[in-house]
């Protein structure tokens, strides 16, 4: 194992560790560690809610999840010699749940969770259809996941970091705050909100303190969205063996990482759709000097995925177009088309005995593919979602015999105000 440069003790809170990470983006958060180009190192990562979500059969923790506290990120890691305009090369050598800890109260200790967040606490992709809080706990056995809350499925996880990115420059941060404020201003009271403005409450800013802390806390960007620096991209294909190229906006690049996922379907559709966990990630970093200009990568990561994804060869797929459930025609809206495709998949799965929430949680967590199949055929986009049939322990394809009925078990824990 490479040298452990960012350790986390599972028995302590994220803010009580030897090194303190952060949960906001800001150029003035000091590097926690400095490494050299070519270095390999291990990083521990805390699950995004720092232990607020439990391995139990209640969804109260999801109902009341403290969204101002996320994401608990490890870093920043400064890379010697990195300058704005460079590309930071990050190899994901390995990653997984918390090493050597197979049970315990912290997600990543042999288990993880997927949540449907309620409309008034985050919401999600299908919040109009699923306004309440639900949860599924997944048990890990090697690379495979199963859940007492979603029985009759078992799949190999597609393990990846949900969030990794470089620090923004002051200029870039300013741009984010301006444009997101403008969006919020169009409907400031919307539930769920259109975007999340800076929020000093619960900010964690590494080693900052005093006036610097207060200033940065007031300015720093929230970590929910992906942006020019990478960030919370939730790209399920950033598996072991991937190489990622990030634009560098500040001296040292200041890479941070967290929000590890044991598995996730394309879209992470339940908001916390991945199987969330703490764990470790082994990285190697390097620099391509001046690479942003050389390769035309001024924003957003480019990457080369690893080659050990779980392989499936038979899929059941659903399609959707950009017509709302109410029958309104929208113009080339792939977001909507994917919602409709996912709703079709959910409807289908309920015919076998699953509750809609179980089906929704499954689509968030299993390694499903979500494709932008057609984006030009006015006025309808066509999006498609593909479920690997082998993850079910019963026949899932349509046939003249009709669907078998499974026992849905105890179902997904539910909590409502």
Work out whether 317 is an interface residue with a second copy (CB under 8 A). yes
Work out whether 175 is an interface residue with a second copy (CB under 8 A). yes
Near a second copy in 35-54, by CB under 8 A: 40
Work out whether 8 is an interface residue with a second copy (CB under 8 A). no
Work out whether 121 is an interface residue with a second copy (CB under 8 A). no
Distance, CA of 158 to CA of 144 (rounded, Å):
9
Count the residues in the chain.
417
Q: Pick from 279, 282, 285: which is nearest to 240 by CA?
A: 282
* Interaction pattern, residues 69-108, with a second copy; x per rule: CB under 8 A: ------------------x-x-xxxx----xxxx------
By beta-carbon proximity to a second copy, the closer residue of 27 and 364 is: 364
Work out whether 125 is an interface residue with a second copy (CB under 8 A). yes
Cα(first)–Cα(last) distance of the chain, in Å? 46
Stretch that binds a second copy, among 76-84, 201-209, 212-220, 260-268 (CB under 8 A): 260-268
Q: What is the DSSP secondary-structure string of 244-266? A: EEEE--STT--EEEEEEES---T
Work out whether 278 is an interface residue with a second copy (CB under 8 A). no
Minimum distance from residue 207 beta carbon to a second copy (Å):
27
Minimum distance from residue 153 beta carbon to a second copy (Å):
15
Query: Cα-flanking dihedrals φ and ψ of residue 385, to 5°?
Result: -130, 135
Near a second copy in 11-40, by CB under 8 A: 40
Total site size for a second copy, rule CB under 8 A: 129
**Cis status, amide bond into 146, omega within 30 of 0:** no
Minimum distance from residue 251 beta carbon to a second copy (Å):
20
Work out whether 408 is an interface residue with a second copy (CB under 8 A). no
Q: What is the DSSP letter of 393?
A: S
Near a second copy in 381-400, by CB under 8 A: 381-384, 386, 389-390, 397-400
Minimum distance from residue 236 beta carbon to a second copy (Å):
7
Work out whether 247 is an interface residue with a second copy (CB under 8 A). no
Of the candidate residues 108, 273, 279, 413, the single one contacting a second copy (CB under 8 A) = 273
Stretch that binds a second copy, among 12-20, 55-63, 204-212, 227-235 (CB under 8 A): 227-235
Chain centroid to CA 48: 9
By beta-carbon proximity to a second copy, the closer residue of 213 and 245 is: 245
Of the candidate residues 11, 378, 407, 417, the single one contacting a second copy (CB under 8 A) = 378
Per the rule left: phi > 0, alpha: psi between -120 and 50, beta: everything else, 189 is alpha
Work out whether 316 is an interface residue with a second copy (CB under 8 A). yes
Of the candidate residues 340, 362, 365, 413, the single one contacting a second copy (CB under 8 A) = 340
Minimum distance from residue 30 beta carbon to a second copy (Å):
26
Work out whether 295 is an interface residue with a second copy (CB under 8 A). yes
Chain centroid to CA 239: 13
Helices marked H in 41-165 — which ranges?
60-63
Residue with tokens 């199963």, as numbered in its chain: 146
Helices marked H in 91-219 — which ranges?
170-185, 210-219
Contacts of residue 416, defined as CB under 8 A and 6 or more positions apart, other chains included, come to: 63, 118, 132, 133
By beta-carbon proximity to a second copy, the closer residue of 204 and 274 is: 274
Contacts of residue 58, defined as CB under 8 A and 6 or more positions apart, other chains included, come to: 135, 413, 415
Work out whether 375 is an interface residue with a second copy (CB under 8 A). yes
By beta-carbon proximity to a second copy, the closer residue of 208 and 283 is: 283
Minimum distance from residue 379 beta carbon to a second copy (Å):
4
Distance, CA of 102 to CA of 27 (rounded, Å):
36
Work out whether 307 is an interface residue with a second copy (CB under 8 A). yes
Distance, CA of 370 to CA of 54 (rounded, Å):
29
- The angle formed by the CA atoms of residues 375, 160 and 359, to the nearest 5 degrees, is 65
By beta-carbon proximity to a second copy, the closer residue of 12 and 295 is: 295
Residue with tokens 């919307």, as numbered in its chain: 190
């Amino acid at each position: 194992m490479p040298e452990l440069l960012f350790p986390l003790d599972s028995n302590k809170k994220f803010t009580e560790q030897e090194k303190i990470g952060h949960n906001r983006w800001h150029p003035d958060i000091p590097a926690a560690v400095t490494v050299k180009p070519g270095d390999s190192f291990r990083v521990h990562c805390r699950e995004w809610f720092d232990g607020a979500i439990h391995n139990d059969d209640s969804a109260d923790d999801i109902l009341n999840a403290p969204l101002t506290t996320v994401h608990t990120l490890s870093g920043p890691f400064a890379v010697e010699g990195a300058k704005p305009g460079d590309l930071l090369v990050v190899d994901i050598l390995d990653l997984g749940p918390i090493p050597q800890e197979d049970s315990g109260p912290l997600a990543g200790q042999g288990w993880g969770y997927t949540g449907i967040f309620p409309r008034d606490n985050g919401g999600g992709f299908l919040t109009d259809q699923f306004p309440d809080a639900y949860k599924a706990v997944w048990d890990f056995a090697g690379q495979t996941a199963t859940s007492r809350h979603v029985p009759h499925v078992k799949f190999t996880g597609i393990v990846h970091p949900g969030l990794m990115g470089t620090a923004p420059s002051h200029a870039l941060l300013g741009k984010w705050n301006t444009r997101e404020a403008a969006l919020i201003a169009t409907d400031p009271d919307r539930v769920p909100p259109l975007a999340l403005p800076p929020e000093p409450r619960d900010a964690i800013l590494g080693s900052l303190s005093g006036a610097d802390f207060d200033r940065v806390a007031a300015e720093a960007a929230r970590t929910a969205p992906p942006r020019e620096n990478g960030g919370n991209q939730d790209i399920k294909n950033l598996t072991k063996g991937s190489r990622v190229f990030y634009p560098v906006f500040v001296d040292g690049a200041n890479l941070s990482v967290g929000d590890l996922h044991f598995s996730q379907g394309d879209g992470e559709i339940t908001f916390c759709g991945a199987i969330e966990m703490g764990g470790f990630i082994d990285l190697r970093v390097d620099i391509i000097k001046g690479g942003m200009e050389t390769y035309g990568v001024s924003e957003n990561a480019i990457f080369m995925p690893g080659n050990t994804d779980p392989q499936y060869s038979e899929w059941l797929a659903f399609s959707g177009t950009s017509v709302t459930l109410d029958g309104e025609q929208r113009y080339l809206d792939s977001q909507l088309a994917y919602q409709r495709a996912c709703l079709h998949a959910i409807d289908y799965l309920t015919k076998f005995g699953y509750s809609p929430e179980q089906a929704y949680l499954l689509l968030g967590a299993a390694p499903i593919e979500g494709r932008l199949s057609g984006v030009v055929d006015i006025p309808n986009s066509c999006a498609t979602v593909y479920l690997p049939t082998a993850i079910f322990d019963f026949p899932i394809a349509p046939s003249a015999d009709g669907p078998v009925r499974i026992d849905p078990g105890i179902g997904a824990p539910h909590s409502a105000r």
